[in-house]
Amino acid sequence: MRAPGRNPVVVVGAGLSGLACALHLLGAGREVVVLERDEHPGGRAGRLDRDGFLMDTGPTVLTMPELLEEAFGAVGETVADRLDLVPLTPAYRASFADGSKIDVHTDRDLMAAEVARAAGPREADGYLRLRDWLTRLYRVEMRSFIDAPVDSPLDLLRPDLVRLAALGGFGRLAPAVGSRVRDERLRRIFSFQSLYAGVAPEKALAAYAVIAYMDTVAGVYFPKGGMRALGAAMAGAVTKAGGTVRLGDAVARLERRGDRVTAAVTESGERVPCDQVVVTADLPAAHRLLGHTPRRPVPLRHSPSAVVLHLGTDRTWEGLDHHTISFGRAWRGTFDEIIRQGRTMSDPSLLVTRPTRTDPSLAPDGHHLLYVLAPAPNLAAGRIDWEREGPRYRDHLVRVLEERGLSGLDASVRTEHMVTPADWARQGLAHGTPFSLAHTFAQTGPFRPRSTVPGTANAVLAGCGTTPGVGVPTVLISGKLAAARVVARTGG
């Protein structure tokens, strides 16, 4: 119900952060209109339907479902009302160049037994110490630095800052993991996640081990119907709670009067008045809409990008689990190639997701889906002509996978779709990366672009470009924090 004399809150973008924001706002009694340029909700958790194969084009790993529960709970619903979440056991299968495999379980005892089998009892003890450290790190970071507004360095001056320092959170990730497990395979399993934060493990803050906690301790889930089901479920809950979600309705500009945004103007020319606006577009696009040019002494640094190869096949392979991390022999050199040299991996480490293992309905009978993610340089770091090199790199990835046990992969492909950094750029993502800004120290916490916009009294940012950062859990939190700012500004 609209308060007397108050226009709705307009949320620009029906991605996961925008939908989470809308749910929390509706729960606080605000009227909400969500404007989305695409024909379906979900944002980067996108979708492509081809020849009977239902492809997720964005994230494939879902952790921390309690954050979804919180968003649905704001409007009196539960995750179970809207989604069928399947816990994945194992969360991942890690496959190595020497032919060994380690299943990554989130259950403490199962994983300790698996580590003992693969690397011996001493490493199993090290794993238990590592798990304990990850858990303590997560608890400190979540309550004070992730699920909390952090606008200035002064906001870090909390008791948990001392606890985080005592846990070694301001050291480096690779040594922190390596001090607890010696087996190189285990070190990779618990540190590869830093690449998606845009930093090599040797240079990443140990605090970013919290991502490994989410994957390897908290659990990994998959929604029946694919990750696309998240956006559809959240949009459905927004609509049921009285909000409006308008798809295929892109915002062309934001109308301003002084320091206030007064309306969103769509590409069709319609003016949608607003009391407050939450913008979830990629950061440069958000600032263009707001007519704001950020001033920073050092240019923002973006994360590496990714090449994603979607393959619909007429067969599958026993060695593949739902998520399989296929590690090459190279490790440190891989990060150097992507981040510093700006070229593709010569010995790639790949995430291969087979969603049809959990939900066969995503492909025609007797067929399977593969989602192959290869980290790659973003367009600022690399000078790769993807129009020319894309098809060659596709063949390289398929050849590598065949050599690693997926024999006959190329001949089994019945449909495919490839996404390169150039394609991400055409979608409006800065420097052609879906992972937004890198999580360097200078772009973390209060040093990351804030969710408030200087010179604008009623605009808030949400999404992976602002705090707390990149990933499905953090963008859900970003939406919640944005809603809290709106409510605080407007009372109630």
CATH number at residue 473: 3.50.50.60
Boundary residue ending a domain (431, 451, 470): 431
Whether residue 407 sits in one domain with residue 339: yes
Strand order in the sheet with 62-63: 62-63, 220-223, 85-87
Whether residue 379 sits in one domain with residue 352: yes
* CATH assignment at residue 384: 3.30.519
In a domain, 50, yes or no: no
Contacts of 262 (CB under 8 A, 6+ apart): 255, 256, 273, 274
Output the CA torsion 318→313→62→182 (10° steps).
Answer: 40
Whether residue 427 sits in one domain with residue 308: yes
Whether residue 368 sits in one domain with residue 449: no
Whether residue 424 sits in one domain with residue 311: yes
Tokens of 2: 């609209």
Whether residue 345 sits in one domain with residue 416: yes
3-class DSSP state of 126 = helix
CB atoms within 10 A of CB 295: 6
In a domain, 356, yes or no: yes
Segments forming the whole domain that contains residue 324: 303-431
Tokens of 236: 């459905």
Whether residue 169 sits in one domain with residue 136: yes
Query: What does each of the 492 residues of the chain score in pLDDT, given as a tens digit?
Result: 445 458 999 999 999 999 999 999 999 999 999 999 999 999 999 999 999 999 999 999 999 999 999 999 999 999 999 999 999 999 999 999 999 999 999 999 999 999 999 999 999 999 999 999 999 999 998 877 777 776 666 566 677 788 888 998 889 999 999 999 999 999 999 998 887 677 889 888 898 899 999 999 999 999 999 999 999 999 999 999 999 999 999 999 999 999 999 999 999 999 999 999 999 999 889 989 998 777 766 688 899 999 999 999 999 998 899 999 999 998 888 888 998 899 999 999 999 999 999 999 999 999 999 999 999 999 999 889 999 999 999 999 999 999 999 999 999 999 999 999 999 999 999 999 999 988 887 777 777 888 888 889 999 999 998 888 889 999 999 999 999 999 998 876
Q: Which residues of 328-337 are buried (b: 16+ CB within 10 A; e: fewer)?
A: bebbeebbeb
Whether residue 465 sits in one domain with residue 366: no
Of 315, 266, 261, 313, nearest to 290 by C-alpha is: 261
Whether residue 426 sits in one domain with residue 321: yes
Output the CA torsion 177→183→186→187 (10° steps).
Answer: 40
Residue at token pair 């790190």: 137
Q: Is-cis flag, bond preceding 90, omega within 30? A: yes
Q: What is the predicted pLDDT for the residue at 264?
A: 97
In a domain, 382, yes or no: yes
Phi and psi based region of residue 463 (left: phi greater than 0; alpha: psi -120 to 50; beta: remaining): left
Domain total of the chain: 3
In a domain, 104, yes or no: no
Whether residue 309 sits in one domain with residue 293: no
CB 93 within 8 A of CB 103: yes
Whether residue 307 sits in one domain with residue 295: no
> d(Cα 476, Cα 216) in Å, to the nearest integer?
20
